[in-house]
Amino acid sequence: MNGVSVEGATHKQVVDLIRAGEKELVLAVLSVPAQEADGLEGGDEVQITYDYSDKQAVPISIPTYKHVEQHSERFVVYNVYMSGRQLCSKRYREFAILHQNLKREFSNFNFPKLPGKWPFSLSEQQLDARRRGLEEYLERVCSVRVVGESDIMQEFLSESDENYNGVTDVELRIALPDKTTISVRVRKNSTTDQVYQALVMKVGMDSIMASYFALFEVINHSFVRKLVPNEFPHKLYVQNYTSAVPGTCLALRKWLFSFQEEELLRDNPLALHYCFHQALEDVKKGFIKTEDKSYQLQKLAEQRKMATYLSLLRTCKGYNEVAFPHCSCDSRRKGHVITAISIHHFKLHACTEDGTLENQVIAFEWAEMQRWDTDEEGMAFCFEYARGEKKPRWVKIFTPYFNYMHECFERVFCELKWRKQVEEETSDKDNKNCSNNEYLPPLETQQKGWRHLGGEIATS
């Protein structure tokens, strides 16, 4: 459809493709042999064919089990882990139900056997043997991608275990900008805000620093997404079998576009440390283009002159900029766009459908933006802009990260508003000082203003 294979696509994905094509819809229909065609006629239910050859390495394990007493009943739960982090705890009978549900859905797949059920109480040695058997079962089943990523398996691994004593708390490992990780213990159903507050306390961030950082999900090597306040970080573990960061898909990162705001963090050793190491990683990945400053920056980094390094790096292209994966846009009939958001502008860079950059680049000044919104059903971010005397025009960008794009817009405009307020306050104070023949260092005045406004930023 429109040059994109829709084999295995969901209904919603097909609808999104149709919408992205606007008035043009090109369908390529594949013919089938007469024998197969006969099997499709007659109104009988069509047998779904799955590809069981697509395998994946899944670091799933059941390292421990636990005796539980609940409502006068004693039983054992097996603790399921993924990459060293706990996902859930399940009774044997829940594994049996999972097995039956999977066999019903994937009827032509040869599933491994579950460990046998015993009518008598099991010894510790027998329980451990069952644990190993259940672990082997999950390893083999989840290694088949279509089975491991099925809704049945996802629900099994993320199902609430709050009725089991002592298993509602989980350890979440979070990657820090300096490539270390830290663990926080929270309730399994904790929201992003609650997890972030636990992290802030564990790391020792003050309220000002906390307002300039946030929790992100590592999508892949080149893109991270800021979590929204009401998400459940623990559930992301189930959806991320593999991750760009070993052992966790959660990361603490700077959440800031304004250079002036960041300057205020230079007196905070921890904030400076994190900003420096995040900058090093962004340069390494090519997000920031150092060009002719590369040698000078390398020397500053080796000498650990963090403040000077960051000050020079802010003059480079791509600093404090969020670039999104390429996606379709209704302003282009063919090809995709790569969107980039910075404190300076909102940029659309034309590219092919496989992400290869083209020459055309459109940069919108923030003053040109009139309105912006999200289209939940169409999975798109929409904005209206006006240039000169021309009539305002709406543009729609089809991306699964439309909510994050919207939040970036909101953040940029908040920071621009703060900057304007600080400039006005500074100007008023300067005028007063001049009239009273008093002198107040501009930097000190500006810093106090920024700090006051920065403290009002939401910490999620």
Q: What is the mean pLDDT of residues 43-69?
A: 82
pLDDT tens digits for range 240-262:
654 444 567 899 999 999 998 88
pLDDT tens digits for range 68-92:
887 788 889 999 988 777 778 899 9
The pLDDT value recorded for residue 31 is 62
Considering only 76-80, 186-190, 339-343, which range has the smallest mean pLDDT?
186-190
Considering only 26-30, 108-112, 354-358, which range has the smallest mean pLDDT?
26-30
Instruction: Say whether pLDDT at 421 is over 70.
Output: yes
Which CB contacts under 8 angstroms, 24+ apart, belong to 374-380?
374/402, 374/403, 374/406, 375/402, 378/16, 378/19, 379/12, 379/16
Contacting residues for 427 by C-beta, under 8 A, at least 6 apart: none
Distance CA 450, CA 417 (A): 11
Strand ranges inside 342-411, DSSP E: 345-351, 357-365, 369-375, 380-385, 393-398
pLDDT band of residue 277 (cuts 50, 70, 90) is very high
Q: Which amino acid is at 262?
A: E
Percent of residues, the chain, with pLDDT higher than 90: 52
pLDDT band of residue 20 (cuts 50, 70, 90) is low
pLDDT tens digits for range 152-187:
888 888 755 444 544 467 788 899 999 999 999 888
Considering only 46-60, 94-108, 440-454, which range has the smallest mean pLDDT?
440-454
**Per-residue 3-state assignment (H helix, E strand, C coil) for 275-325:** HHHHHHHHHHCCCCECHHHHHHHHHHHHCCCHHHHHHHHCCCECCCCEECC
